[in-house]
Amino acid sequence: MKIVFTWVKDEDVKYFSENLKGHQLIFYKDYIDKINVEEISDTDILSVFVFDKLDKEKLSRFKNLKLIVTRSVGFDHIDIDYCKENNIKVANIPSYSPKSIAEHTLALLLSLTRKLKTSIEKTTKVDFTQTEDLMGLDLDDLTVGIIGTGRIGSWVARMCLSLGMKVYAYDVIENEELKKLGVKYVDFDTLIESSDVISLHVPYSPQTHHLINGEAIKKMKEGVILINTSRGAVVDTDALYEALKEGKIGGAGLDVFEDEDILILEKYEDGHSTDKNLKIIKLSTLPNVIITPHIAYYTTKAVKNIRKHTVEAIKMFLETGKLGSFEVV
């Protein structure tokens, strides 16, 4: 089998080479747009990352493709309909380390409530005065609203409960275990109207596109803190920008944002940019906004698990033609 891996590091190459012996393995350190697809058009299995956009045009150039394994939970970067129509199996890695992303969510929350960005900026300028702009918030006085209580959102809920926060949740499927722990499920409007902190943990889909938009923001509390470690397009950048400028939103922690690939992959060097990029750059300069480059997942345990589960998915497919819990389509 010819197996192609994109967006890999040296450690990935070593692991995949040792654990997939007997197959023709090809590795690229770049994402798919930087690769000449014609060179690998006879690929049987393609393993990609979230920055590899596999639309119909690109997928149609692969003649023998049987399986795509995305080394991520999300798979909105892949044209699933095309894969279904052309009998291409798609696998994701649904549970490599949901706790890692939950911990990053909590790190953003704590950084915002305790004004760490402002504090660090002041002390690096040799200003050690205790001024009012450094006054933090007590977590046990706050209500956090968690939108999406899957693997990641459930961990966030547990962590927030352990810190004394009141936890509201919204999801189409309610987690009975979380209810027993004290999480209160409410409708979407009640959650956004009542929460001091709103944390997003939903997959991206047409239904969740701009779930947080101007209309939703108007219903939120004055000074609400918004955290997004799900997918960038769940939040309308334009609406967020205006709400932060006006002070409606008191703070934002973003590990994901719209058109993030342009900044993260430095596509601007090739002349690519959008107005959303400029707004994100502007927001990153504000004392009440913390932006990280899609690294919530990026821990030693998570990376090891991603490698391990990728190999498991490929081997399962080769041996049985099935994907088990890894299967998307």
Query: Which residue positions in the chain have pLDDT lower than 70?
Result: none
Do 171 and 83 fall into the same domain?
A: no
Q: Are 321 and 87 in contact (CB under 8 A)?
A: no
Q: What is the CA radius of gyration of the chain?
A: 21
Number of domains forming the structure of the chain: 2
Query: Known catalytic residue: 231?
Result: yes
CA distance 281 to 283: 5
CATH number of the domain bearing residue 151: 3.40.50.720
Q: Which of 71, 104, 201, 294 is catalytic?
A: 294
Do 21 and 64 fall into the same domain?
A: yes
CA distance 69 to 47: 5
Do 131 and 193 fall into the same domain?
A: yes
CA distance 250 to 245: 9
Do 221 and 274 fall into the same domain?
A: yes
Query: Known catalytic residue: 158?
Result: no
Amino acid found at 186: V
pTM exceeds 0.75? yes
Q: Which of 71, 158, 201, 231 is catalytic?
A: 231
CB contact set of 182 (below 8 Å; sequence gap of 6+)? 161, 167
Do 319 and 187 fall into the same domain?
A: no
Do 125 and 186 fall into the same domain?
A: yes
Do 176 and 57 fall into the same domain?
A: no
Do 282 and 149 fall into the same domain?
A: yes
By the 10 Å C-beta count (0-12 exposed, 13-18 middle, 19+ buried), 161 is classed as middle
CB contact set of 165 (below 8 Å; sequence gap of 6+)? 139, 140, 142, 143, 144, 197
Do 66 and 122 fall into the same domain?
A: no
Do 18 and 162 fall into the same domain?
A: no
pLDDT for 329: 85
Do 120 and 234 fall into the same domain?
A: yes
Do 254 and 138 fall into the same domain?
A: yes
Query: Known catalytic residue: 260?
Result: yes
What range defines the domain where residue 318 resides? 2-96+300-326
CA distance 120 to 287: 10
Q: Which of 260, 307, 309, 312 is catalytic?
A: 260
CA distance 214 to 195: 17
